[in-house]
Amino acid sequence: MSNLRGKHIVLGISGGIAAYKSVMLLRLLVKAGAEVQVVITPNGKEFITPVTLSALSGKPVVSEFFTANTGEWHSHVDLGLWADLMIIAPATASTIGKMANGIADNMLITTYLSAKEQVMVAPAMDLDMWRHPSTQRNIETLKRDGVIIVEPEAGELASGLVGKGRMEEPEGIVKAAEAYFAKTASLTGKRVMVTAGPTFENIDPVRFIGNYSSGKMGFAIAEEFASRGAEVLLIAGPVSMEVKGEGIKRINVVSAREMYEAAVSNFDGMDYVVLAAAVADYAPETVSESKIKREGTDEMVLKLVKNPDIAATLGSMKTTQKIIGFALETDHELENALHKLKKKNLDWIVLNSLRDPEAGFMKDTNKITIVSDTGMELEFPAKRKTEVAKDIADVVAGK
């Protein structure tokens, strides 16, 4: 049985010759048990009639913002909430360009811009258009935005030319959709703990020692594991971020000591533990109960004591858990990362270098190298943190 059964799919069709193949794609999706809502661009309707599409999908086709005779408003926001997957096939060069740049001049693009679900695109165009730097740039942008690209095939094109640009066959697109849903369920039944954000170590009721960690990387990891069906426990330091997605339980902590206690007491029964938090290594030995006054002292000495090492403690407690640590280094990066991995008894360590302009605190992007306990190194290009989270999940938990 196909894993598309019962899934809600928005099928976006833009105006290219390959639109005729969308009829077959629609049929295959419906046959596999999916509920499909077609959204077509005005140009798409020049190639294929909405009557055929609504007959096959069993739903009126959405094309305009309003239905002319009834004045009914089609809500792209509702579609975004309803859908489990959006497939745009064919995606013309123009549609791809609009998607990459947020030009929302038709219902298909507004639906794309408010999509909460994964979006998959099957481009179709002539080989010169496909090869054009502008198209390639837009495709790269979409990839960075998390869109899955079903690469066009090489072959005979509608223009009579031979080359890359022909839309993937409907069967291939269905396979890509099935592969996506297989991945979303691949960690069902697994339990994952993620630490994220900074820790704050109080000095007095109004001051603390902290760091610039935003929590973005850890939150993206929690969301990625949850999107694959895992039950996630997110132990978050003081950050203002909200976590998105179902299947995530959040414990908020402030200090390293609190994070340590939450992590140690929940470690048992976990399958994966990802330690993305930037934990303060030291905390003031005593916390003043009242605000420390400026008057009367020209100097101030704070005595700091070492915080417990969460990673090393969990590493020593580990039975079947896989532990993934992070290392943010400025020099001798690989050497230091591998040393941390061994010392803390981790299974993987994710290295990011502060020297890299696209890596580090408060950024939306990161550039990582994943190192395994056998010394295997996997280097990735700079990507958005949501995409980096996918690479980490792929490597540590399998594709």
Q: Report, as residue numbers or ranges, the catalytic residues.
A: 211
Interface with ligand CTP, residue 340, by CB under 6 A: yes
Assigned token pair, 328: 């943010």
Binding residue for ligand CTP, selected from 25, 40, 235, 277, defined by CB under 6 A: 277
Binding residue for ligand CTP, selected from 44, 237, 325, 360, defined by CB under 6 A: 325
DSSP state of 16: S
* Chain residues 195-214 in contact with ligand CTP, contact rule CB under 6 A: 195
Give the nearest distance from C-beta 308 to ligand CTP in angstroms: 6
Number of residues forming the site for ligand CTP (CB under 6 A): 15
Give the nearest distance from C-beta 321 to ligand CTP in angstroms: 14
User: Is the separation of the CB atoms in 337 and 371 below 8 Å?
Assistant: yes
349-358: long-range contacts (C-beta < 8 A, 24 or more apart)?
349/324, 349/325, 350/276, 350/324, 350/325, 350/326, 350/392, 351/326, 351/327, 352/326, 352/327, 352/328, 353/328, 353/329, 354/328, 354/329, 354/330, 355/330, 355/331, 356/382, 358/382
Task: Single out the segment in contact with ligand CTP by CB under 6 A; choices: 63-71, 79-87, 209-217, 277-285.
Answer: 277-285
Interface with ligand CTP, residue 338, by CB under 6 A: no
- Phi, psi torsion values for 64, nearest 5 degrees: -100, 165
Q: State which residue has the least CB distance to ligand CTP.
A: 310
DSSP state of 66: B
Give the nearest distance from C-beta 49 to ligand CTP in angstroms: 57
User: Is the separation of the CB atoms in 19 and 52 below 8 Å?
Assistant: no
Binding residue for ligand CTP, selected from 48, 203, 243, 311, defined by CB under 6 A: 311
Interface with ligand CTP, residue 258, by CB under 6 A: no
Assigned token pair, 2: 């196909």
Give the nearest distance from C-beta 353 to ligand CTP in angstroms: 12
* Chain residues 227-256 in contact with ligand CTP, contact rule CB under 6 A: 256
Residues in the chain: 399
Each residue 147-186 as x (binds ligand CTP by CB under 6 A) or -, in order, gives ----------------------------------------
| Half-sphere exposure (Cβ direction) of 147: Cα atoms closer than 13 Å | 25
From the centroid of its chain, how far is CA 237? Answer: 21
Q: Which residue has the tokens 């975004």?
A: 80
User: Is the separation of the CB atoms in 119 and 160 below 8 Å?
Assistant: no
Task: Single out the segment in contact with ligand CTP by CB under 6 A; choices: 112-120, 203-211, 306-314, 390-398.
Answer: 306-314
User: Is the separation of the CB atoms in 156 and 186 below 8 Å?
Assistant: no
Interface with ligand CTP, residue 90, by CB under 6 A: no
With respect to ligand CTP, which residue has the nearer C-beta, 180 or 326? Answer: 326
User: Is the separation of the CB atoms in 210 and 199 below 8 Å?
Assistant: yes
Interface with ligand CTP, residue 221, by CB under 6 A: no
Binding residue for ligand CTP, selected from 40, 121, 262, 279, defined by CB under 6 A: 279
Interface with ligand CTP, residue 310, by CB under 6 A: yes
The residues binding ligand CTP (CB under 6 A) are 195, 256, 275, 277, 279, 281, 307, 309-311, 325-328, 340
